[in-house]
Amino acid sequence: PLAYAHVSVVKPCRLVRPVTQIPERSLVHQEGLPKLPVPSLKQTCERYLAALEPIVSEEELEHTRQLVQEFLKGGVGDRVQKGLERRARKTENWLSEWWMQSAYLDCRMPVAVYTSPGVVLPRMHFHDRQGQMRFAAKLIAGVLEFKKMIDNENLPVEYLSGKPLCMDQYYQILSSCRVPGPKRDTVVNHAIGKTPPTHITVVHNFQFFVLDVYNSDSTPLTVDQIYMQLEKIWNSSLQTNKEPIGILTSQHRNTWGKAYNNLIKDKTNKESVRAIQKSIFTVCLDAPMPRVSDELYQSRVAAQMLHGGGARWNSGNRWFDKTLQFIVGEDGTCGLVYEHAPAEGPPIVFLIDYVVKYMQKTEIVRSPMVPLSMPQKLRFNITPEVKRDIEKAKQNMNIMVHDLDVKVLMFSHFGKNVPKQHKLSPDAFIQMALQLAYFRMYNICCSTYESASLRMFKYGRTDAIRVTTVDSLRYVQAMEDPSKQKVALLQKAVQTHKENAYNAIHGQAIDRHLLGMKLQSIEDLTSMPEIFMDTSYAVAHHYNLSTSQVGSKTDCVMCFGPMVPDGYGVCYNPMDEHINIAITAFNSCEETNAAKFARAVEDALLDMRALLEDTATAKQ
């Protein structure tokens, strides 16, 4: 979900953005966090060359070695490094603004499918509007309960490897929204302003409503009250022939930026848009989707979360710029989609775990009813120009829907338990299975991205664990060769992955440092160092496999689109005894196929278990 990070970096940027501000009360914990370090130049150069070894040819590698030598010895590297170190001294985080810009706000691809991840929740047992609204009402109450912890500052601080993590992202996911610009987007966070919002937006049959979720005494509405309000919304949005205004937000960002300016010329439209942007979050009450077999159900829901199913289904029942959108279908479907700029997956699933637990213990108790006013419907004046923009957005959305290939694999044979029994890191084990699956399908290995959290540092976001290493390559090659010591090679590859993951979360990976040096060169207005214009650099950043582990207590799975047109997006949630894996690709690429890759992953996992068990038996 860090799509096209490498291609969109073109110009220096300076910005004052509300996104990294947090309410003052939580500054105590935040102040104690260390700053993101700038790794040493020599270390990054060495690690970069090592990372290239399994993915580029010997000639390319030799050429790059020379460029790296020049970069190190010729003074250019030192100068850029000094510039970065100066930036690190002057800012709270040398990377965070650059990263926000280059990975997200400058990125012009649509947010739907290309950057916004979805989450598929387990299928619910309702099949009608009552069930849908009851579920949505409880969910809304659960999120408001979670919001209390944010407002009252008693959100538990998370830890990784014994170190407290930056909690800033939690303050960015509610009451915020992305706003398109003609060349660059922004994110506005209304939680920080003088009058934080007290409403959510609900969308049904493409019609948006403002639902006030607090009483005049600032207590949240009860589940019962929310249910009644949802029913009113449902009853006054029965027409299904409305213009799907929200589909505009699924467009290419430049196109949407232009359409946006045109849309908000009208005062009513501007106020309606602002009400959506300012709302705490959005709830999409989706129309039922075509039924599919149980086997395909999860994959269909993943697609529904990522794009809504197309113009004639639920793609217009969204505001894709909204940071958090919960999706509840009349057919028992539920999940969410979130705009990636303000936060990574872990805070989102932490919220889900909390809300799901809350919903399990909450029953609707009928309470005496204080009459509440009718939720306000948001009006839009559809001029011929807006109508034309909607038609274009519908066409493009339908193309995206046809292009996205999704397969959710609910791997049921084992989970974290098996690698743990054999004293292997479950994450590294699954990553090696992905490497093996890819190698078996393509007979080569590819540049592989696994996101690593930088939240040990103030305002830290992510760096990349480069999964493909000389050791992972030796291991996958050995799996096809009866004469090799497969288990020893697997253990070695897993150990290397663990070390790379450790380095990454401690701020010692190479991707963001390389990006930083590139951006520093641009900011210094000097010529671009050759190492960044080299073929190897392009290959290293063409991530055919873009992966992320997003673990949760809830039996859900996150999903996101591939990072490159000819690659896969793979997100997995390893549970104790099973693994949920969402795989995406594009149909327009003939070489990729999500279902085929899913089968290869399943086989790889089973073969790896067999390998470990055979070896264990042989030893006894």
Chain positions contacting ligand NAG, by CB under 6 A:
228, 231-232, 235, 442, 446, 539, 542, 544, 566, 591-592
Q: How far is the CB of 291 from ligand NAG (least distance, A)?
A: 25
What is the closest distance, in whole angstroms, from the C-beta atom of residue 69 to ligand NAG in the complex? 24
Active site residues: 340
SS3 of the chain: helix, strand, coil, percent, to 5: 45, 15, 40
Asked if 431 and 579 count as a contact pair (C-beta separation under 8 A), the reply is no
> Smaller CB distance to ligand NAG: residue 547 or 580?
547
- Which of 235/360 has CB closer to ligand NAG? 235
Closest of 191, 559, 520 to residue 408, by C-alpha = 559
Nearer to ligand NAG, 353 or 603 (CB): 603
| Minimum CB distance to ligand NAG, residue 464 (Å) | 16
286 touches 317 (CB < 8 A): yes
Q: How far is the CB of 13 from ligand NAG (least distance, A)?
A: 28
The amino acid at residue 344 is E
CB of 614 to ligand NAG, least distance (A): 31
Least spacing, CB of residue 571 vs ligand NAG, in Å:
18
**Contact status, residue 190 vs residue 197, Cβ threshold 8 Å:** yes
C-alpha–C-alpha distance, residues 257 and 184, integer Å = 9
CA dist 228 and 224 (Å) reads 6
What are the two backbone dihedrals, phi and then psi, of residue 384, each rounded to the nearest 5 degrees?
A: -55, -35
- How is residue 488 written in tokens? 């020893």
Residue 197 to residue 190: CA distance in whole angstroms: 7
The CB-of-543 to ligand NAG minimum distance in angstroms stands at 9
Task: With residue 17 as reference, give the H or E element that holds it.
Answer: none
Nearer to ligand NAG, 121 or 328 (CB): 328
Structure tokens at 433: 């299975």
Rounded distance between C-alpha atoms, residue 589 and residue 436, angstroms:
21
Q: Are 164 and 32 contacting, i.e. CB atoms less than 8 angstroms apart?
A: yes
Q: Tokens for 95?
A: 């990377």
* Pair of tokens at residue 340: 């990636």
What is the number of the residue whose Cβ is closest to ligand NAG? 566
Strand 282-286 with 324-329, pairing: parallel
* Helix ranges (DSSP H) in 250-293: 253-263, 267-278
Sequence-ordered list of residues with C-beta below 8 angstroms from that of 361, at least 6 positions apart, any chain: none
- 119/210 with CB nearer ligand NAG: 210
Closest CA to 179 of 316, 278, 317: 278
CB-nearer residue toward ligand NAG: 126 or 320: 126
Residues 6+ apart with CB under 8 A from 128: 330
168 within 8 A of 27, measured Cβ to Cβ: no
- In angstroms, give the least distance from the CB of 196 to ligand NAG: 28
Q: Which residue, 171 or 568, has its beta carbon nearer to ligand NAG?
A: 568
For tokens 């579920």, the residue is: 135
Min CB(538)–ligand NAG separation in Å: 8
C-alpha to C-alpha distance for 235 and 131, rounded to whole angstroms: 15
Q: Give yes or no for a contact between 581 and 433, defined as CB atoms under 8 angstroms apart.
A: no
CB of 200 or CB of 575, closer to ligand NAG: 200
Q: By the 8 A CB rule, do 92 and 459 touch? A: yes
Of 13 and 49, which has the nearer Cβ to ligand NAG? Answer: 49
How many Cα atoms occupy the beta-carbon half-sphere of 68 within 13 Å? 20
